[in-house]
């Protein structure tokens, strides 16, 4: 009998970066992730599949990422990106042959082979469809793919129930389009959950509290069986940190939600999964293994022999150095040696297998039952931030399979074989800093919510009044602009200063486009004909922001109104 179960969940997401005319650098993000993360993961799965190993990873592909990966402009752009990297590597190699050092010439050849392999895999193995690759491995029983909010909207802070529901409902619809089946699980954006309670806008001084649906109620309506949260939410503990002092509006929100939640008297563990009153199941992240795999300081990715992320050779931006012992001094970085790096992978995979076994055995001794360890990570950790990460996952899976003491499971596997045995309520929170909403609403980014809430209410009105009239096409594009504005990435990038200017420009651009489209829709609905300039503006928006081609405006109808309309 196994000592326990291991559920690896990878969260794959990218905000919409195919928009034209705002900032071109965003497309590098998706090209880098495709080359460094998604294709190497498919390669790892391909090898495991041929070796008869089913890792049963749970992989989330957010709908907005899937839409981009299937967009013809991405496919063409990615092929050009790979060829550009090949050309850069060839140019670097010639330069190093002339000028030295010769070790860099060898690494230039390494990069040339890497991007050539990526290009061949993309074009010939997967037929220019990364999504088709993940669909294949799901159909083969190797993995389970789950969905997410359509554009990664932060559920607890969206301004209307209709917006919350539309994010989830469109997420389900988009998943069905790309994967040919209904999803069983969902990755809640930022693992953010809100129970039902009398919610009040935190940025509108005259707002009145009103009864909001709980996140799990929305999931149950859409037929979703399970989701993931951070461990402090399962345990019922209060969020950490000083969010109240930094942004007092959050203190009021937390106090309001806390009236509807009492900390549990019974012991709860992140190695169990729990049933909510709506019938959905919550899994919680294991804190013990997170640091080992995630941390660049205390974890595996910080090993001195792994590839250094931050030091690049300009202008081509290929990387030739390892992390080295002097981690903070880029001038003291040593040459990267792929062979030494991949030897370290063996040691780290073996170490994590022992950690998993020890953690699960300890829980089995305490609880007298078999537990499930849930490891949750951003997919982009593996390959982009930690170059050797995909190979680490491959080696880890092989060792778990050979060891036999830990059962590898997906979320759906648990629904089928180990349904939750305990009923609980969850508090409000996320997996962000402090466990609450501070990263997504604070002094730096609260203005985004003040602009977003009015357009969400306007969208609800237009979906009800304009959906079947002459303004339908205009309103549909306005809905796309609002969905893109709802992405939690903009608040995150503003809050962390990672790409603050870019995020502010992108967010404001979608708001401005929505406002103008709404003005046009108001006029057209009353019988006016669009001017030539307005028609050109609509076409530009449709070409620039083009995900969700089959977008249905009934997504934003209240349920009762939707039933009456059918």
* Whole-angstrom distance, CA of residue 417 vs CA of residue 550: 36
* Whole-angstrom distance, CA of residue 463 vs CA of residue 485: 17
Which of 378, 405, 515, 522 is an active site residue?
A: 378
Is 92 designated active site? no
Tokens 């389970």 -> residue = 144
Q: Show the beta-strand stretches assigned E in 45-190.
A: 57-61, 143-148, 186-187
Note whether 322 and 107 are within 8 A (CB).
no
- Taking alpha carbons only, the member of 114, 122, 124, 143 closest to residue 49 is 143
For residue 480, say whether it is annotated as part of any ligand binding site. no
What angle (nearest 5°) sits at the alpha carbon of residue 463, between those of residues 461 and 468?
A: 125
For residue 302, say whether it is annotated as part of any ligand binding site. yes
| Torsion angle of the four alpha carbons 338, 339, 340, 343, in this order, in degrees rounded to the nearest 10 | 120
Note whether 444 and 438 are within 8 A (CB).
no
Return the exposure string of 288-322: e unless at least 16 CB atoms fall within 10 Å of the residue's CB, then b: bbbebbbebeebbbebbbbbbeebebeeeebbbbb
| pLDDT of 251 | 63
DSSP annotation of 550: T
Which of 46, 162, 190, 391 is an active site residue?
A: 190
- Taking alpha carbons only, the member of 222, 30, 38 closest to residue 137 is 38
Residue 214 Cα distances to 156, 195, 199, 235, angstroms: 9, 4, 10, 19
For residue 87, say whether it is annotated as part of any ligand binding site. no
| pLDDT of 243 | 46
For residue 161, say whether it is annotated as part of any ligand binding site. no
Domain boundaries, the chain: 1-70+129-441, 444-559
* Whole-angstrom distance, CA of residue 304 vs CA of residue 336: 10
| pLDDT of 434 | 86
Question: 196 in helix, strand or coil?
Answer: coil
| pLDDT of 563 | 43
* Whole-angstrom distance, CA of residue 466 vs CA of residue 518: 11
| pLDDT of 564 | 46
* Whole-angstrom distance, CA of residue 377 vs CA of residue 106: 33
* 169 token code pair: 């409902």
Is 378 designated active site? yes
Q: Would you identify the CATH topology of the domain 444-559?
A: immunoglobulin/albumin-binding domain-like (1.20.1430)
Tokens 């040696």 -> residue = 337
Each residue's pLDDT tens digit, 417-446: 999 989 999 999 999 988 899 999 999 999
Q: Would you identify the CATH topology of the domain 1-70+129-441?
A: 7-stranded beta/alpha barrel (3.20.110)
To the nearest 10 degrees (0 to 180), the angle between helices 446-465 and 472-485 is: 160
- Taking alpha carbons only, the member of 72, 63, 71, 178 closest to residue 132 is 178
Low-confidence ranges of the chain (pLDDT < 50): 21-23, 240-245, 561-566
CA atoms 27, 33, 35, 39: torsion sign = negative
Each residue's pLDDT tens digit, 339-348: 999 999 999 9
């Amino acid at each position: 009998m196994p000592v326990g179960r291991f559920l690896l969940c990878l969260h794959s997401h990218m905000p919409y970066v195919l928009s034209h005319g705002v900032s071109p650098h965003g497309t590098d993000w998706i090209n880098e992730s495709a080359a460094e993360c998604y294709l190497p993961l498919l390669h790892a799965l391909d090898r495991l599949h041929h070796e008869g190993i089913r890792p049963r990873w749970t992989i989330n592909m957010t709908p907005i990422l899937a839409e981009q990966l299937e967009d013809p402009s991405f496919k063409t752009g990615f092929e050009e990106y790979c060829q550009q990297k090949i050309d850069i590597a060839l140019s670097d190699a010639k330069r190093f042959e002339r000028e030295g050092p010769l070790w860099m010439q060898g690494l230039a050849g390494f990069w040339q082979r890497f991007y050539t392999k990526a290009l061949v895999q993309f074009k010939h193995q997967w037929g220019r469809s990364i999504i088709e690759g993940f669909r294949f491995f799901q159909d083969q029983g190797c993995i389970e793919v789950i969905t997410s909010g359509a554009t990664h909207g932060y559920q607890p802070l969206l301004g209307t129930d209709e917006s919350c529901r539309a994010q989830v409902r469109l997420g389900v619809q988009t998943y069905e389009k790309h994967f040919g089946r209904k999803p069983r699980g969902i990755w809640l954006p930022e693992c953010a959950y809100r129970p039902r309670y009398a919610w009040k806008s935190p940025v509108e001084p005259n707002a009145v509290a009103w009864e909001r649906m709980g996140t799990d109620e929305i999931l149950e309506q859409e037929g979703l069986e399970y989701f993931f949260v951070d461990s402090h939410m399962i345990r019922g503990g209060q969020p950490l940190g000083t969010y109240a002092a930094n942004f007092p509006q959050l203190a009021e929100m937390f106090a309001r939600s806390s009236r509807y939640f009492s900390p549990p008297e019974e012991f709860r563990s992140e190695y169990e999964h729990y049933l909510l009153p709506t019938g959905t199941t919550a899994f919680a992240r294991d804190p013990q293994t997170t640091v080992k795999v995630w941390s660049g300081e205390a974890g595996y990715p910080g090993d001195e022999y792994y590839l250094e992320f931050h030091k690049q050779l300009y202008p081509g931006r290929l990387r030739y150095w390892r992390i080295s012992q002097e981690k903070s001094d880029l001038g003291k970085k040593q040459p990267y040696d792929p062979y030494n790096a991949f030897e370290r992978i063996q040691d780290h995979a073996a170490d994590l297998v022992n950690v998993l076994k020890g953690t699960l055995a300890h829980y089995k001794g305490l609880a007298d039952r078999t537990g499930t360890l849930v490891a949750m990570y951003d997919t982009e950790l593996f390959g982009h931030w930690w170059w050797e990460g995909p190979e680490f996952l491959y080696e880890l899976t092989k060792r778990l399979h050979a060891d036999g003491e830990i059962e590898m499971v997906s979320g759906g596997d648990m629904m089928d074989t180990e349904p939750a045995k305990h009923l609980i309520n969850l508090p409000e929170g996320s997996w962000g800093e402090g466990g609450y909403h501070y990263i997504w609403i604070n002094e730096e980014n609260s203005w985004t919510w003040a602009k977003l809430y009015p357009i969400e209410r306007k969208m609800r009105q237009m979906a009800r009044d304009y959906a079947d009239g002459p303004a339908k096409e205009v309103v549909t594009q306005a809905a796309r602009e609002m969905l893109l504005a709802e992405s939690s990435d903009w608040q995150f990038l503003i809050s962390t200063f990672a790409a603050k200017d870019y995020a502010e420009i992108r967010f404001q651009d979608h708001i401005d486009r929505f406002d103008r489209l709404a003005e046009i829709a108001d006029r057209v609905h009353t019988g006016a004909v669009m001017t030539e300039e307005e028609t050109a503006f609509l076409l530009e928006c449709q070409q620039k922001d083009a995900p969700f081609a089959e977008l249905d405006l009934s997504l934003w109808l209240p349920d009762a109104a939707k039933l009456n309309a059918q």
